[in-house]
Amino acid sequence: MKVDFIIIGQGIAGTCFAFELLQKNKTFIIIDKQDDNTPSKVALGIYNPLILKWFTKPWHIDHQISFFYKFFNSFQSFFCKNIMFDTGIYKFLKTPYDQNTWLTKSMSPKRKKYMSSELFKLENKSLIYNEFYGLVKSAGRIDIPLFLKTFRNFCITNKCIVNELFNYDHLTIKKDHVKYNDITSSNIIFCEGPAVINNPFFNWIKLKPTKGDLLHIKCKNLNLDKILHASLLFIPLGGEIYSIGATYDWSQDDTLNTSNARERIISIFEKNVNLPYTIIDQKSGIRPSTFDRRAFVGSHPDHSNVYILNGLGTRGILLAPYLSNNLIDSIYFKKNLLKEVSINRAYK
């Protein structure tokens, strides 16, 4: 078999990269060992253009958001599936200081397309605090399980995915191609998330793994129709089921459920909601975060056809389409790779 790219990993990164290749008529094969504990399998799927603690804008957000919509609109049309819920996020503004800061920042020309110019009172008696909320615009949720499953099924039908662990010893790298078992490819890209520590070509990139936990709960009559942010995210999934999370913990690197995280989520939920509820389950995952909060993208210092897309610790669903597009354009159309996320900073 001959392809343009071998892709290792079908999490958010590998899926976005593969769909971008597909749009550009490039061929690929994905090697991905299914695993229910990867961060993409537990992610809440929230996209949001602001850093909600300070109401500031992250790096390149205007470009990221506009490419994000282009990417997911194409994905939805291609697969005839509805996976994007562009509902906005209600941000709880507890103190008069928070409320004034919101209103002041929302007037800035740089932010006003993402922040409502007014504050809202929510007509929901189950919430302990009904007022005041600011509405974050260009924000919502991607149904990540459906996104990953839809693409995987497409790849299974088209015989371009293999459900197995990649064996690094079987890879031969030549100047103009790579070979893996019976596959010959012009390039290979590693999108392994936190499992990059097992990769002899890239195990030197320094990740700062960050554990996250969330709860799924059932709460009758809560009737939230939008995502709320009140210390944590409260996400309506339908059928009276909600995801609540996610926590951040830099001290642990396993995917076992953390009891501290569970207690923190419950405590925040009970401070905000005045109704009985039942916990359905708890999910935990390790985010492939980095020390400078920037992803790692680019080619191996000694092998120009061996690439990486990793370090998507937070905002992975916003970043992955944008960074995939930039990398592919740099390979095939000689565009510049974004220097802020370049792998060069890991070894220079």
Contacts with ligand FAD by CB under 6 A lie at: 8-14, 31-33, 35, 38-40, 42-46, 165-166, 191-195, 212, 214, 245-246, 285, 287-288, 310, 312, 314-318
Query: Between vectors from CA 184 to CA 183 and to CA 190, what angle results, nearest 5°?
Result: 80
Residue closer to ligand FAD (CB basis): 45 or 132: 45
Quick one: tokens of 157? Answer: 């039908």
Write down the least CB distance from residue 13 to ligand FAD, Å: 3
Cα→Cα distances 122→31, 225, 254, Å: 47, 11, 38
Write down the least CB distance from residue 160 to ligand FAD, Å: 15
Residue 240, class by beta-carbon neighbours within 10 Å (0-12 exposed, 13-18 middle, 19+ buried)?
A: middle
Write down the least CB distance from residue 148 to ligand FAD, Å: 8
Write down the least CB distance from residue 178 to ligand FAD, Å: 15
Write down the least CB distance from residue 135 to ligand FAD, Å: 18
Residue closer to ligand FAD (CB basis): 25 or 251: 251
Give the 3-state secondary structure of residue 5: strand
Residue ranges with strand state E in the chain: 2-8, 28-31, 46-47, 84-85, 89-92, 115-121, 131-136, 140-142, 161-162, 171-173, 178-180, 183-190, 210-218, 227-230, 232-238, 241-245, 278-287, 296-299, 306-310
Residue closer to ligand FAD (CB basis): 132 or 147: 147
State the DSSP H helix or E strand holding residue 52, giving kind and residue range, or none if neither: none
Residue closer to ligand FAD (CB basis): 106 or 309: 309
Residue closer to ligand FAD (CB basis): 214 or 337: 214
Residue closer to ligand FAD (CB basis): 106 or 162: 162
DSSP string, 182-247: TEEEEEEEE--GGGGGG-TTTTTS-B--EEEEEEEEE-TT----SEEEESEEEEEEETTEEEEE--
Write down the least CB distance from residue 45 to ligand FAD, Å: 5
d(Cα 50, Cα 321) in Å, to the nearest integer? 18
Residue closer to ligand FAD (CB basis): 121 or 170: 170
Give the 3-state secondary structure of residue 160: coil
Write down the least CB distance from residue 42 to ligand FAD, Å: 5
Residue 319, class by beta-carbon neighbours within 10 Å (0-12 exposed, 13-18 middle, 19+ buried)?
A: buried
Residue closer to ligand FAD (CB basis): 14 or 134: 14
Cα→Cα distances 80→22, 83, 159, 321, Å: 16, 9, 20, 19
Write down the least CB distance from residue 41 to ligand FAD, Å: 7
In the chain, the N- to C-terminal Cα span, in Å, equals 36
Residue closer to ligand FAD (CB basis): 31 or 205: 31
d(Cα 161, Cα 206) in Å, to the nearest integer? 28
Write down the least CB distance from residue 95 to ligand FAD, Å: 26
